[in-house]
Amino acid sequence: MVDCVVVGAGVIGLAAGRALALGGLEVIVIEAAGAIGTETSSRNSEVIHAGIYYPPGSLKARLCVAGRELLYRYCAEKGINHARTGKLIVATRDTEVPVLDRYLAQARRNGVTDLARFGPADVARLEPAVHCVQALHSPSTGIIDSRAFMLALQGDLEAHRGTVVLNTRVSRVVRRKELFEIEVAGTPTIRCARLVNAAGLHAQDLARNIDGLPQATIPPLHLARGQYYSLTGKSPFGRLVYPVAGPADLGVHVTLDLAGAARFGPDLQWIPSIDYGFDADRLATFTAAIRRYHPGLDESLLQPGHTGIRPKLAGPGEAAADFVIQGEAEHGVPGLVNLYGIESPGLTASLAMAEQVRVLLDRR
């Protein structure tokens, strides 16, 4: 018997487990894979987002803005490699300028007050390889070594009586009076008073196997794969460059890794099941998207990179959905928190989200 089991050792499960352990609970984080963070948490852009894009008042907006500051502080405290690179969001034609105006207004309402408007001459001075008619500069956007971040979370967890158990897939959760009995491959293994479902792309699957959880509370899952190309050689960019966002993603953008190498992506492709394969046929759409803001792109320098899958709660053509964090008030099961649809900016929001999970379970 332990105080709390967290299912999933991605960045969200590790951050939640750490917060609960720091709060004095004995926590076990159970992970199906042989290592921490092998799914979405290691298949992203590693960007610390400022909090510009999300509707004011949404969980995405609030947890991104709060999480970003917590994350910068945590990185400084733990010596985690990161950089406040800054980012440009570029309008490449006049019709896109009103979108920048909307971002500016929305960012202010989200508490992001440091955006500056740049004209094409300012941008040419900073980023000669970038074409635009106008831009917004976000100085509080940055990049992080997400692996080092997750290792630090695991270290904190383990320093506070917490444990990460690998190679263990939770198959079912049975209610025994006030407790949860965790089954692995159909065999009961451990009981706990609190349970956090941080299974990422598998959160809905796991939820369907939690006894007594009303099925109507489980949101639909839509999978949207994004792939990246890395750019061989010296990066022509000194900071991140984003076009204006599409309806379901942020557009094919430029990010830098901490060694200064540039990569483009992710794009967005709806897929029926989890499949990390790279689709080379999408190169032409990719290069067309990049050339709008980087006309000098030399296509021969693009190398296929990694892919990641967004666990979306809204499908093609539907309005973007917020993160869903359900506690007892939403699903009626005491001691259980389910986390659904933790796509971007989940990495940035992770420490703030973990605090929200801790508060939900504190009431127990």
Ligand X SMILES: Cc1cc2nc3c(=O)[nH]c(=O)nc-3n(C[C@H](O)[C@H](O)[C@H](O)COP(=O)(O)OP(=O)(O)OC[C@H]3O[C@@H](n4cnc5c(N)ncnc54)[C@H](O)[C@@H]3O)c2cc1C
Q: Does 49 bind ligand X (CB under 6 A)?
A: yes
Candidates 287, 303, 297; CA nearest to 131 is: 297
Q: Kindly determine how many residues on this chain lie close enough to bind ligand X according to the rule CB under 6 A.
A: 42
The distance of closest approach from Cβ of residue 309 to ligand X in the complex, given in angstroms and rounded to an integer, is: 6
Q: Does 33 bind ligand X (CB under 6 A)?
A: yes
Candidates 15, 7, 10, 336; CA nearest to 184 is: 7
Long-range pairs of 211-214 with CB within 8 A, sequence gap ≥ 24: 211/172, 211/173, 211/174, 211/175, 212/175, 212/333, 213/331, 213/333, 213/336, 213/338, 214/331, 214/332
Q: Does 106 bind ligand X (CB under 6 A)?
A: no
Q: Does 347 bind ligand X (CB under 6 A)?
A: yes
State the binding string over 253-282 for ligand X (x if CB under 6 A, else -). -------------x----------------
- 216 phi and psi angles, rounded to 5 deg: -65, -15
Helix orientation angle between 11-22 and 346-362, rounded to the nearest 10 degrees: 40
Q: Does 152 bind ligand X (CB under 6 A)?
A: no
10-18, 53-61, 109-117, 291-299 -> range binding ligand X (CB under 6 A):
10-18
Give dist(CA 211, CA 203) in Å, integer.
14
Cis before 128 (ω within 30): no
Q: Does 169 bind ligand X (CB under 6 A)?
A: yes
Q: Does 13 bind ligand X (CB under 6 A)?
A: yes
Q: Using the rule CB under 6 A, which residue among 51, 200, 243, 327 binds ligand X? A: 200
**For residues 33 and 97, which CB has a smaller minimum distance to ligand X in the complex?**
33
Give dist(CA 8, CA 36) in Å, integer.
8
Burial grade of 57 (CB within 10 A; 0-12, 13-18, 19 or more)? exposed
Q: Using the rule CB under 6 A, which residue among 18, 40, 210, 360 binds ligand X? A: 40
Q: Does 346 bind ligand X (CB under 6 A)?
A: yes
Q: Does 86 bind ligand X (CB under 6 A)?
A: no
Q: Does 198 bind ligand X (CB under 6 A)?
A: yes
The distance of closest approach from Cβ of residue 110 to ligand X in the complex, given in angstroms and rounded to an integer, is: 15
The distance of closest approach from Cβ of residue 145 to ligand X in the complex, given in angstroms and rounded to an integer, is: 13
Contact of 59 with 323, CB cutoff 8 Å:
yes
Helix orientation angle between 146-159 and 59-78, rounded to the nearest 10 degrees: 80
Give dist(CA 48, CA 71) in Å, integer.
8
Q: Does 251 bind ligand X (CB under 6 A)?
A: no
Q: Does 127 bind ligand X (CB under 6 A)?
A: no
Beta strands in the chain (DSSP E): 2-7, 27-30, 47-48, 82-83, 87-91, 116-118, 134-138, 142-144, 163-165, 170-176, 179-184, 187-197, 222-231, 240-243, 253-256, 262-265, 269-271, 302-312, 324-326, 336-340
The distance of closest approach from Cβ of residue 98 to ligand X in the complex, given in angstroms and rounded to an integer, is: 25
**For residues 97 and 189, which CB has a smaller minimum distance to ligand X in the complex?**
189
Q: Using the rule CB under 6 A, which residue among 348, 351, 360, 361 binds ligand X? A: 348
Q: Using the rule CB under 6 A, which residue among 18, 19, 20, 41 binds ligand X? A: 41
The distance of closest approach from Cβ of residue 43 to ligand X in the complex, given in angstroms and rounded to an integer, is: 6
Q: Using the rule CB under 6 A, which residue among 308, 327, 335, 341 binds ligand X? A: 308
Q: Does 82 bind ligand X (CB under 6 A)?
A: no
Q: Using the rule CB under 6 A, which residue among 4, 5, 6, 8 binds ligand X? A: 8
Residues that bind ligand X (CB under 6 A): 7-13, 30-33, 37-41, 43-47, 49, 169-170, 198-202, 206, 226, 266, 308-310, 342-348
